[in-house]
Structure formats: structure tokens, C-alpha cells
Amino acid sequence: METMALKAKAAQIRMDLLKMIHGAKTGHTGGSLSNTDILTALYYKIMKIDPARPKWEERDRFIASKGHSVESLWCILADLGFFPKEELETFSRFGTRLIGHPNNKVPGIEMNTGALGHGLAISVGMALAAKRDGKGYRVFCLMGDGEQAEGSVWEAAMAGSHYKLDNLVGIIDRNRLQISGPTEDVMGLEPLEDKWASFGWNVVSIDGNDMEQLLRAFESVPAVSGKPTLVMANTVKGKGVSFAENVPHWHHHVPNDEQLALALAELSTLIERYKLEEGVSS
């Protein structure tokens, strides 16, 4: 997929997740909107995956340590054919597989996540297994910035560096807001890049809502031999919906009918613009 097509795809995924959350009357809206560009870059361009063979041994692995923002992931997996798109209508309903956190009963999900601070440790184990088994797959782990207050994250960071796991990519959705307010008020994280670098990681800081920057960062991995990479993806919580951007209330706010219509109109306009720009560039 070319860059403009990826931007349009991300806008479409945002529309899908908003409709899904609106229908279910529950969901983590703000964080799913902020991580959509990251997941779109990974799933449609970067990772080696095969929806027809979700357990393909050579597949790249993705761990959503930030498991509560699963809505964008569900929409992408459905769009790629890991499960029927119609199943999105069952999100958070009784008996569904599509619960509010990743569920490994669903094809394409490597592990159940949601208890923050666990994903990177599991990712370290997966990346170490690949090294010891002589496999070429990579492991991508998406974390939240509020999650950086968990001590287990830093234990895993030490292990990733110690074992020289250059097949491991940690990604922080650095939108600077968590459920109880700005991250720097809840538990100050800065200087966050310096902290990761001091733990022996190659740190790349980008605009996490800029598709070109995301692709450059992910395509360069492994950028430094013998070092895991940390992509500091600086994002906007609620990205793509003007009235939700950088508003803490939208962490898990559900759009009403009017808000949904406004958001879908904004995103539809974006898609048309990207399609027009794609036609001009081609």
C-alpha cells in the first residue's frame, strides 16, 4: 500500500471503530484513535503476516500491551480477514469473542492482554525464542505512556538490552493523557527517551500520527545491531476527531448519535482528500 492509501485506510479504521464503540455503548475511544496510525503502518505495510495462516511460524508477532485500546486492532484484523467483519457488531456483547481487551481465542491475537506492564516482558521472551531458534521473525509491542509507571516494564527493558534483542521493537503511544489526567501530573515520566536509552535501547522519536515517519522508523529496524529499538510515537489522544483531540474525557467516552455523525463526516472528508492527493501523486 502506498502512503496516501495507508492514510485513507487509517481514517476508515477510525470510522469503523467509532461505529463499533457507538453500537456497543462502551469502549476506549481516545487511545484507539491515537494508536490507529501505528497499527495501520504495522499491519498493512511492515509486518509479515498471513490472515489465512494466523499461526504461520515465520509471522511477525504483535503484542498489544496497551490492551484496553483494542478497538482499532479488532477493526484492522476484521478488515484483513482474520475473522468476518460482521463480527464487529458483537463487540462487548454477551458471549462475544471481541471483548474489551485482546483475546487469544480470536485469530491474529498472540496473547490476552490488559493488565498493564505485562506485554513487553512477554515480547522479550518471544524475541529471545526467535533468536535461540534461529527464526527471522520480529516482535512489536505497543505500550501506553501511562503504562511506563509499571516496574515490570523496566525489568523487561533491562532483559531486552541484556539479550541484545535487535528483533524486538517497543512502541510507546505517547499521547500524554491517561484515565486520570496528564501523565506528567499522575506520575512524571520525563526524560522518557533518555531513560530508555540508558537501559540500552536504540530510541527513535517520531510523530506517531505521521504515516511517513512511522514507515521510516519501522522499516529501519534493526537500526542498531544488538540493540532493541524503542519507537517513541508522539501522538494525539482522540486523533482524527476534532472535538475529541487532547480531551481527557474521551479516554473511554462513547459518542452519541450527533457526535458520531460529526466524526464520520470529518473522517469521510479526510478520506476523499487522501484519495485526491493519491491520484495527483500517481
Quick one: pLDDT at residue 281?
60
Measured CA to CA, the distance from residue 8 to residue 217 in angstroms comes to 20
Q: Please give the Cα distance from 194 to 175 (Å, whole number).
A: 18
- Residue 204, pLDDT > 60, answer yes
Give the per-residue pLDDT at 279: 72
Buried b (16+ CB within 10 A) or exposed e, 157-178: bebbbebebbbbbbbbbbbbbb
Check pLDDT > 80 for residue 215: yes
- Collapsing DSSP to helix, strand or coil, 189 comes out as coil
Q: What is the pLDDT of residue 181?
A: 87
Separation between Cα atoms, residue 249 and residue 238, nearest integer Å: 10
Q: What residues have CB less than 8 Å from 220, skipping those under 6 apart?
A: 204
Give the mean pLDDT of 152-157: 98
Give the mean pLDDT of 56-79: 98
Q: State the Cα–Cα distance between residues 254 and 27, nearest whole angstrom.
A: 7
Question: Which CATH architecture describes the domain 3-281?
Answer: 3-Layer(aba) Sandwich (3.40)
Q: Name residue, grid cell 476484521.
A: 78
| pLDDT the model gives residue 114 | 87
C-alpha grid cell, residue 268: 469521510
Average pLDDT on 255-281 reads: 92
Question: Would you list the domain boundaries of the chain?
Answer: 3-281
